[in-house]
Chain A
Amino acid sequence: MIEVLNFGLAALILGLAVWTIVAREAPAAVVGFIVYGLLLTLVWVQLQGIDVALTEAAIGGGLTGVLLISAAVRLRSTESTARAQRPSASTRWLAAALSAAVTAALSICVLALPEPAPTLAPEVLANIAVTEVGNPITAVLLAFRAMDTLLEAIVLLFALIGVWSLAPDRAWGGRPGLLQQADPNGILAYVARVLPPIGIVAGIYIFWIGADHPGGKFQGATILAAMWLLVMMAGLADAPPISRRWLRWLLVAGPLAFIAVGVVGAVTAGAFLSYPQGYAKTLILVIEFALMPTLTLILGLMLLGAPQRGETS
């Protein structure tokens, strides 16, 4: 039974991927991509990666979908010129041959994977007690491979600076995104009043539960960012101007706290980002609490894009 479900899921995903590639209109392709992301979430559940499933649903399908669909709508007028530039039939055949070759090579690799599969699960199990967290994924993210997570937070910050740097000169320091005007008595404004209290509780719950169960700061921060975006899209609040000092401090607070904990580890435990014995859980919590507002703001602001308006408008 579960085999049939898996085959059906794989077929649906492949079909939606084809749709995303060949659909005539970009918005239709993006909608296909969002559904594709949601179905991938089910695949992650089948592959026993509940934490990955949560991330895929929140970021892979959700945030990326919103980002691409608003871009697709704005760029609608450019689609007809692009269609006229379709490459020649020979280019398409070459591309198809190349893609088929890549797929074939990867398939051979998948079928030739070593048996028994190499795994680090026993090592994680043997060392997880030291970190005092119950969720092995969190232990990897914030203890065994904490350096990756630190660099990831910095990558996110740099990406946001990159997005901001694309602002036209006159809008530098201003508010990102376009001014949203929604009917103050409409359904969007209503949802934007009713949903955030629930969403904020859910986001903080997923953040907090991440220490011992599937969940964590990225998934939680995405839900909080989504609630913030909903309120802004309904016109109930405006995006902050990017020149605000409090905003900039919050954006660097997470990575700075992370680096500070790393330096403390270098002094007290002998290596950057290693935790002194007995303080692992405390320091992991310090990092998570510092990263949470930073991640929420970065994810939300990245979706709004470069500043478009002055501070006052």
Chain B
Amino acid sequence: MTAGTLFGLCAAVLIGFGLYGLIVNPHPLRKILAFNVVGSGVFLLFGAIAYRGAGAGMGGDPVPQALLITGIVVAFSATALAVALLLRLFDETGSVTLSSDPPPKSGDDTGAH
């Protein structure tokens, strides 16, 4: 099995793991983490495809590789924004639940006002 196929299949499994965590983990931070696992799986799949496009003296196709660099940086900025939203929610309400039930009252007085 070539490295491209091996890590391509590895990426497919990573996307599956991440998707499961994204659905099953109730904590928003864990969802962000699982989403990053999905993201890295997608990047790895794309990287495996770039590796298959080796040619002209280059180890991999440079166009998808350059797009991957852009992708990783944009994924970081999306993660930073998600974490900032989450921390603000925590500062306001004292909890970070995504459930539609009313949040517990214990942390309400810590809200920033």
Contacts and interface: CB of A to CB of B under 8 A. Distances in A.
- Note whether A and B form a binding pair: yes
Contacts of A156: 73-74, 77
A180 B9 CA distance: 44
Nearest to A152: B70
Q: Which secondary structure dominates where chain A touches chain B?
A: helix
A159 B32 CA distance: 16
Contacts of B58: 48, 121, 124-125, 136
A82 B96 contact: yes
A126 to B, nearest CB: 8
A145 B66 contact: yes
A113 B10 CA distance: 15
Contact of A43 (B13, B44, B60, B88): B44
A37 B40 contact: yes
A95 B52 contact: no
B17 A47 contact: no
Contacts of A136: 58, 62
Contacts of A120: 53, 61-63
Contacts of B43: 52
A55 interface: yes
Given A82-B97, A137-B66, A305 B83 contact: yes
A252 interface: no
A306 to B, nearest CB: 6
B37 to A, nearest CB: 5
A43 B11 CA distance: 11
B59 to A, nearest CB: 3
A283 B73 CA distance: 23
Contacts of B19: 95, 98-99, 102
B21 A47 contact: no
Interface string A16-45: 011011100010011001001100100110
Contacts of B77: 155-156, 159-160, 302
Q: Which of B9, B15, B70, B90 has the most CB of A within 10 A?
A: B70
Interface residues of A, number: 97
A291 B68 CA distance: 19
Interface in A33-85: 33, 36-37, 40, 43-44, 46-49, 51-52, 55-56, 59-60, 63-64, 67-68, 71-72, 74-75, 77-79, 81-83, 85
The 4 A-B residue pairs with the shortest CB-CB distance in the complex, in nearest-first order: A48-B59, A103-B16, A119-B53, A21-B21
Interface of B: 1, 3-21, 23-27, 29-30, 32-34, 36-37, 40, 43-45, 47-63, 65-70, 72-81, 83-88, 90-91, 95-97, 99, 104, 107, 112
Given A10-B10, A14-B13, A124-B62, 5 more contacts: A47-B47, A79-B27, A102-B15, A117-B52, A302-B77
29 contacts: A14-B17, A21-B37, A22-B21, A30-B33, A55-B68, A55-B72, A67-B80, A71-B29, A71-B83, A83-B27, A86-B26, A95-B19, A98-B19, A98-B20, A110-B5, A110-B8, A117-B52, A117-B53, A117-B61, A121-B54, A124-B63, A140-B67, A141-B70, A148-B67, A149-B70, A162-B81, A166-B84, A168-B91, A216-B69
Interface of A: 3, 6-7, 10, 13-14, 17-18, 20-22, 26, 29-30, 33, 36-37, 40, 43-44, 46-49, 51-52, 55-56, 59-60, 63-64, 67-68, 71-72, 74-75, 77-79, 81-83, 85-87, 91-92, 95-96, 98-100, 102-104, 106-107, 109-111, 113, 117-122, 124-125, 136-137, 139-141, 144-145, 148-149, 152, 155-156, 159-160, 162-163, 166, 168, 170, 216, 218, 299, 302-303, 305-306
